[in-house]
Structure 1
Amino acid sequence: MAYAGGAGLDTTKTCLEGTRTEILRHIIDWITDSRVGTPRIMWLQGQAGRGKSAIAHTIAAWIKDAGGLGSCFCFARDRLAEHREEKILTTIARDLADRDPAFRRALADVVSKDHSLKTTRDVMQQWQRLILEPLSKVNGQIVGKVVVVIDALDESGPDASRSHILSLLTSWEAAHLATNFRILLTSRLLPDIEEALSSCQHVTVTSLDDVPLESAEHDIHLFVSNELRHHHLGGVIGPKEIDQITQRSNGLFEWARLACEFIKRKRAGVQIGIPLEGHTDWVQSVAFSPDGKRIVSGSHDKTVRVWDAERGVQIGNQLEGHAGIVWSVAFSCDGKRIVSGSEDETIRVWEAERGMQIGCPLQGHTDWVWSVAFSPDGKKIVSGSKDETVRVWHTERGVQIGNPLQGHTDWVQSVAFSPDGKRIASGSLDKTVRVWDAERGVQVGSALQGHTNSVQSIAFSPDGRRIVSGSFDKVVRVWDVERCLQIGRPLHGHADWVQSVAFSPDGKRIVSGSSDRTVRVWDAGRVLQSSNPSQGHIDWVRSVAFSLDCRRTVSGSLDKTVRVWDTERGVQIGSPLQGHTNWVQSVAFSPDGRRIVSGSLDKTVRVWDAERNVQIGHPLHGHDDWVWSVAFSPDGKMIVSGSLDKTVRVWDVEGGVQIGSPFQGHTDWVRSVAFSPDCKRIVSASEDKTVRMWDAGRGIQIGHPLQGHTGWVCSAAFSPDNRKIVSGSKDETVRVWDAERGMQIYNPLLGHSDWVWSVAFSPDGRRIVSGSSDKTVRVWDA
């Protein structure tokens, strides 16, 4: 059965002890009320930021300690594909089976008599057969309270994604669950949820919006005081400032939490994506060996561990020696050594094969070592520290080379050597990037500075001479790559985070999409907004693209519409393209600009007349799950689509029909599809961790799957000469493949510290650009 990973209880998200006591007591009283008429379901609702999730996790932790947690399932808007509706009941059934032997036997009996239950996506069938039927078989055998917590139902996706869950929650069977069963549900007050639950007799409603402001502010004051109590802030944060933060939060815990995070500016650990188990605390840093066969990890448990990347097992014993958290690890280019940097202010070098420390610790930093890296020839190590310095070390002799590289005014979070080893780059919480001469130990040029918050998205211009960046500071900036200078003034206009930026194909314009629900077009030459913001969408803009002549922009949105815009004037051209019944995930212009294709969560592909703003023909039906990616062939005669139904399909643009049978082979959802420039092949990337090539005409797979990634493959693209394929993955790597021989070319491109969502070749094929959840874009020599 399909289960939702990472959707369970997270004890790091619970309420601070001593806060939310009244609401927690209210919920606990409801759980422990043994009267027959007590409602089986409580709906805890309130506006975003009220702290619903923290309360849900606190209750789940409390009832788990009491032995009564049946299951905890938490939806998340950024994990829609993983935490889908059809996975909630299978996950709850599994958790109930893990908790209670009698339920486990009953569930096994039900499934053994009907093996189709292992793969069914029918939520109502899951409810009847995987939950209710086993419960009826063990009626009276389960002792004590059993609580199921469902958090953030409003983040499950569009209305249709939770309609079945709401139906079963309001059903007769839910109302007549055993008296010891309780379901705690949290969400914002959305119309469909309110309509279903507010008048339901067996659902009791509790609103956090009704909590008196004085009570909320009391708890927020305790929270803020606790969060900032142990941080050395140079006397900047005192009782007066804590009072101001509390008052400005206006009763919203999430606002207070984000304010504290901004003030502390402390990076949290990131757990490794593949199931390599052994560490006893957070995994902070991971890296592949140059040959891709091993992985090294550093952890809050103070150890370094080496893993077999293929088999997923630990190699030898853990590397012990550090007396604090291991913040950063890296392999040398020959794979023979490992370097680690730690909270204990030291750097250690290890022999990768035998798992032994080489020499004494490298000492000199006066605070935590955040980041370490080998030079390309392995003879030097660079380190960045909380002490605001960068230091260079001699690998063989274990001594510092020259003086510390000083200039940053805050923690140095990231360091790297240039490919030729002559330069070092460092990134810091002081919001700057600095470049250093590795031989002379001096800074090269001025710091690249301007942003006042995290950079969310950046992209190179087609000629590679400029970079555009979009940030959580709501600003777009353009930079001269050679001179390390900002070009012109910041591009102001967005009223919320800038989520996505891109250059037009001719490099003359920039398009940006934001959480403020607008698309904006900017003059890249004059660094001015070239038109008014393209306003019209009533929900997030999910995808944007230029027409080839750059005169128009198309956008797809969570509001289920596609809209076309005049690039120069920033006005919508015609009416919205309406027809999709769910979020529009992907949009693209045909090469001649006459048509638009869109793919949606309603499982259809639609083709539109870009001039008349009308749909051409009927929707292209065939996929039986969300359409995640669409693209035109370079000649404009075909469309390719990839779906969560694990298939790739090709469509005839003129005839509006599917060409041949679905391309089958992937064993999990297809995330990305693209044609080769010569239109003869298609590449697809999937959550089954493979990249596959297909014969576009015959619909058959070419060669074996391209294997090597250890996590979902999120994006893939051909090079302009058809000879290479680039792929980006959840495993944090970028890989390049020989499209003719079906083999990986050289080692994985390492550097990203989170999922790689998007990859592309430059027009001349000499460079690769990748975008990642680590908030960086990286450029590689192809």
Structure 2
Amino acid sequence: MARLQPKKHRLPYVGKSPSSVPPVSNLFLPAHQINGSAKHKSQGQYQDPVGRIASNPGRSSHGFKRKLAAMKSRLIRSHRSPSSSSADPIVSEGAQEDPEPRQVAQDVDTQGLPSKAGPDPEPALAGDDLDVARQVFESMKPIPRAGEIAVNTVAQASTAVAELQNLSSTYLQPLKMFNNVVTTIANVHPYAQIALGILTAASQLIITQANLDSAILELLKKVSFVYAFLLEDDTIKNIDAMRVPLAKIAQVISACVQFIRDYSETTSFWKRLGKNIMSETQTAIGDYTKTLDELMQQYRDRQSRDIHINVYHVLEDLNMEGMAYAGGAGLDTMKKCLENTRTEILQDVINWVNDTHPEAPRILWLHGQAGRGKSAIAHTIASWLKDVGGLGSCFCFVRAKQAECREEKMLTTISRDLASRYPAFRRAIGRVLAEDPSLKTTPDLLQQWQKLILVPLSEAAGGIVGNVVVVIDALDESGGVSWRENILLLLTSTEAANLPSNFRILLTSRPLPDIERALRGAIHVRAMCLDDVPAELAERDITLFVSKKLLSLKDTIGHMGIQRIVHKSNGLFEWARLACEFVDPSRAFGQTVEERFMSLIAVPSDEGKTLLDGMYSTILDSVMPKSGTPFLRFRSVMRQLLTMLEPLPIAALNHMRSLFPSEEEHYDVVIILQFMAPVLSGISDHTLPVQPLHASFNDFLTDPLRSGPYFIDTSDSSDLAHASLQVLYRELSFNVCGLENSYLSNSQIPDLSERIKSNIPQHLSYSCKFWAKHLEVARFDLSLVTSVQAIVESEKILFWIEALSLLGALGSAECSLAITV
């Protein structure tokens, strides 16, 4: 066997298990430098910083060459004396220890690893190894010197990888613990929850990372330290109060994880640029480390200071010239919600953003009438996501800028934003554009959607930290219905339903008919209606808003004055905002604050009435021509609505209209009302009564000075008087509810309400109660006189009284009859 060990080429690292072999990157270092990293290795065992005993890499099999190296080491170890087995042949060559050991050794030393040696191998086991090794070596031919070196190099490389994996596993423990603990954290601000969501996603991406480069082990160590800091009781206790530094920590951690994830691509890029890879790496790690240390100190000091965050995204050169971009269509932080308002809604949206379930809806449609605060919520979410590095893109439509044709630039703008934010997406879209440069200028929405969004997003999904959120605000203010039809087809397509599970689209709009028809039935679209927010929550938030806006006027208007403004707003944030501006002293030219306040609350002056006039005019301009048959029908339907004394659902409106004297008025009101959803309720849900969402809309339409061509004259109610009388004559009957006993009082009939609902339709109930009121303000017409006589001079009058009794409106009978005299 001596021939296998020439004296001039002595096998290195004999006398120790393969686990004591220095990392492969040390093979070409002087022996005295290697000694520093080897001093904490024991015979076959390695104790990590948290006290775990890692498995002996020498016992695992990774190919024939490694088996061979392990056998040789065991064979030689078995022939050495106990004293020689503990000696380090490299150190025995007389080299001195380097005061600056290799970086990996620093990582180990800073954790305070003990130098305790592992237990000696059992004699029986050593004997078994020796017998096996002898049999193998006796059956083999001598190995050439080059092959011998290669065998040992492979063994050393495998051991280095195992050691790196052990160290990585040690640093990953706080990340794994964080993932377990974060699920138990509750009752924190939605802003803090966004940060926690990013931190969780970042930790998961690192944990599942297949390969880690030794050069970035120091950065992993710092990331591990940050997660350990986040697990401290004092840190968790103050998460809500220190959510701003927490968000910045999340942003930097996200950038660190992305840097670790993309390190191989990053070094390749640096190499192409001729940069010093080690120097660039150390600079990036140093900046990240310094920033994280400062942010953690801010957290400890309970302070929040501005800090510049360098993000080392390697963005390969990508020529996007010619690819349309809508400048000025992005995030507007001035539109954010006031602090501590809309918390329930914001919480709901954040829960959707952070939802990791693979079947979570990809699109959230936030809709509601004009003035409900949709844009404020959208920009708040976008701003929070940007703070933690989780905003993919924010694209906003503005009606005043329709001339810019933003709708044609939406998908290309979103694609460019994603490319600038996520290196993996940038690389993917770079490949797409390299194959087909014409995609940069194509006006084809389908190609833009598939090639500039879906394809690169699918390729990049696994390399992105957290969920990608794209905010599209005010879709209803985009181009015409024809363009919206195309984009709605894309958003409701099968491809949209199968978007990567970490992709989200937050979409806001008014419930225009075309948008509602498209989105309402899509299974991957979740609808959230701001009109359904409980009145008490809206009033609470508007009170906070108005109180803050009018803080300087609290002594002038007082608490009661603020409450009156809040009440008059009817839950419309936009009205409240404009009302606050209206009473602002800087805008009260020629009037005192008290005077403007009283004109706003009591009978609004011309200035007060214009608060929402601009909004209403804009809405009507977008859906209604000012001439022709559609415009005449608009005025007729709105006259019917505004002269109604009690709102009715669409079915009842249509029934009444079918009885109008002129046949030209016999059409379905839906052809007009379907476009009025932004200002009327009961349009999308036909079971609800149709009525203005805000009293100011009624005021606007009935004042010719304010509404101009949209003015509605409500002075004549002849059509409704005629229709009501026709309903009474045709539908009133004896014992209309089919009561079995006429001697029982209404209170004694247990199912009376069900009987009324089944037998007295809404249009009949309305006609019974209000026919006389309409008759009172109708123009004189002989046909109306005839209709009245047909009722009051017949048994129909008794049936009418019975119906009023059942409806609980018998007290109005006297007044109604007095009108006919």
Higher helix share: 2
Rg larger for: 2
Q: Could you say which structure has the greater relative contact order, defined with CA pairs below 8 angstroms and 6 or more residues apart?
A: 2
TM over 0.5: no
TM-score bucket of the superposed structures, by smaller chain: 0.3 to 0.5
Q: Give the TM-score normalised by structure 1.
A: 0.36
